[in-house]
């Protein structure tokens, strides 16, 4: 319970700090421009620099069309996905190491100061936060697969 309270307090701090000091910057404005000048599929297939990142592009397209430049909502969504990743990681770790070690491990992952830098920039967070969720989901799926006889 203490780890959950610590993570919740950190997420509140992270949200407040990011809202106060962060904003859409750099590549974010390219994505906004592209979202309103290209179709969804054309944007999804457009590389970011040299990287093909269709889900990133499509997520930006959908977000900017639905909510415009609402940075508060963008940060909220990213933190919800990050919290979901922590929950899935906890669920995967529990059968292997027990509640206490699983909670401490998830707390260490989620309390990483790198999330401060990441959440202050939409494009950076949109690459990393969903990736964290998918990794946790794959880990959880593997643990469940190994549990089956």
User: How do the residues of the chain divide into helix, strand and coil, expressed in percent and rounded to 5?
Assistant: 80, 0, 15
For residue 136, pLDDT beyond 90:
yes
DSSP, res 68: S
CA angle 42/75/59 to nearest 5° reads 15
Q: Convert 130-145 into a string of H (helix), E (strand) and C (coil).
A: HHHHHHHHHHHHHHHH
Q: What is the mean pLDDT of residues 76-85?
A: 92
Alpha carbons 70 and 82: distance in angstroms, whole number: 19
Give 92 or 43, the one with higher predicted confidence. Answer: 92
**pLDDT tens sequence across 44-69:** 887 776 677 778 788 888 888 898 88
Q: Give 49's contacts (C-beta < 8 A, 6+ positions apart).
A: none
For residue 1, pLDDT beyond 70:
no
- What pLDDT is stored for residue 21 in this prediction? 86
Q: Convert 32-67 into a string of H (helix), E (strand) and C (coil).
A: HHHHHHCCHHHHHCCCECCECCHHHHHHHHHHHHHH
**pLDDT tens sequence across 82-103:** 999 999 999 999 999 999 999 9
pLDDT over 90, % of the chain: 26
The sign one gets for the Cα dihedral 141, 79, 115, 1 is negative
**pLDDT tens sequence across 13-22:** 888 888 888 8
């Amino acid at each position: 319970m203490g780890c959950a309270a610590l993570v919740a307090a950190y997420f509140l701090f992270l949200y407040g700090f990011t809202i106060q000091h962060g904003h859409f910057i750099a590549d974010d404005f390219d994505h906004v421009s592209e979202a309103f000048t290209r179709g969804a599929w054309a944007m999804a297939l457009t590389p970011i620099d040299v990287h093909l990142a269709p889900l990133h592009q499509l997520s930006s397209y959908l977000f900017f069309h639905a909510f415009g430049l609402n940075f508060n909502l963008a940060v909220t969504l990213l933190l919800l996905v990050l919290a979901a990743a922590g929950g899935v990681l906890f669920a995967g770790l529990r059968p292997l190491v027990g509640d206490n070690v699983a909670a401490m491990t998830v707390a260490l992952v989620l309390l990483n100061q790198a999330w401060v830098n990441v959440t202050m920039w939409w494009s950076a967070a949109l690459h990393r936060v969903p990736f964290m969720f998918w990794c946790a989901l794959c880990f959880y799926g593997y643990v469940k697969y190994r549990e089956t006889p």
